[in-house]
A and B are shown apart, each in its own frame.
Chain A
Amino acid sequence: DTGVSQDPRHKITKRGQNVTFRCDPISEHNRLYWYRQTLGQGPEFLTYFQNEAQLEKSRLLSDRFSAERPKGSFSTLEIQRTEQGDSAMYLCASSERDGGTDTQYFGPGTRLTVL
């Protein structure tokens, strides 16, 4: 399967702990996106990369959140000092190019539960 993969699929953590998620995009896709989705809502944009450069961050991305894409391939999203409000599905997507017609391919997501 050559789609977008995310690991882990589920994560349960206690408030105050740090968590890290990984996303492997479709190979040769130079754009990679992170979204967050809470129950009953559509996904909300967090940040995106073009190759290894992080080009935009949403105001939703507080200082406790950091994302990296060190070699322009896989990406990690880290949340420090987790809070119960961080409980959500974290989705990763990749696309081949920019432009209003590009298609974003989404992974299955990582569901985070903060106790």
Chain B
Amino acid sequence: DAKTTQPNSMESNEEEPVHLPCNHSTISGTDYIHWYRQLPSQGPEYVIHGLTSNVNNRMASLAIAEDRKSSTLILHRATLRDAAVYYCILRDLYNNNDMRFGAGTRLTVKP
């Protein structure tokens, strides 16, 4: 299975942009890049996903490298509520019965 590598932790100041990196050098052509986050004492929640093109939604933006071997989740203005563990996950289009979470990146947002 293709794996992802993320920094263990990152810090940000409130109302500043945050760029959360993810490396996935063994990604296959049918792997979608998904991001979930887990707020304290809650289950994970979906953030965004993409295949090749950059994606935007109300929560975040996903920038995907041209060779697809890395991606970056962008929170445009971090709030205290964005403090969470962020998981970058690869899911094959045709064989995706489970999600393989790594340890993720713990984001701390300072006021």
Q: Which residues of A contact B (CB under 8 A)?
A: 4, 33, 40-45, 48, 55-56, 58, 91, 93, 98-109
B54 to chain A, nearest CB (A): 16
| B interface, over-half SS | loop
Partner of B43, one of A100, A103, A108: A108
Q: Which residues of B contact A (CB under 8 A)?
A: 30-32, 41-46, 49, 85, 87, 91-94, 96-104
Given contacts A93-B43, A106-B43, contact A99 B103 (CB under 8 A): no
| A interface, over-half SS | loop
Note all chain B residues with C-beta closer than 8 A to A103: 46, 49
Please name the residue on chain A nearest to B94 by beta carbon: A100
Note all chain B residues with C-beta closer than 8 A to A42: 85, 87, 101-104
Note all chain B residues with C-beta closer than 8 A to A105: 45-46
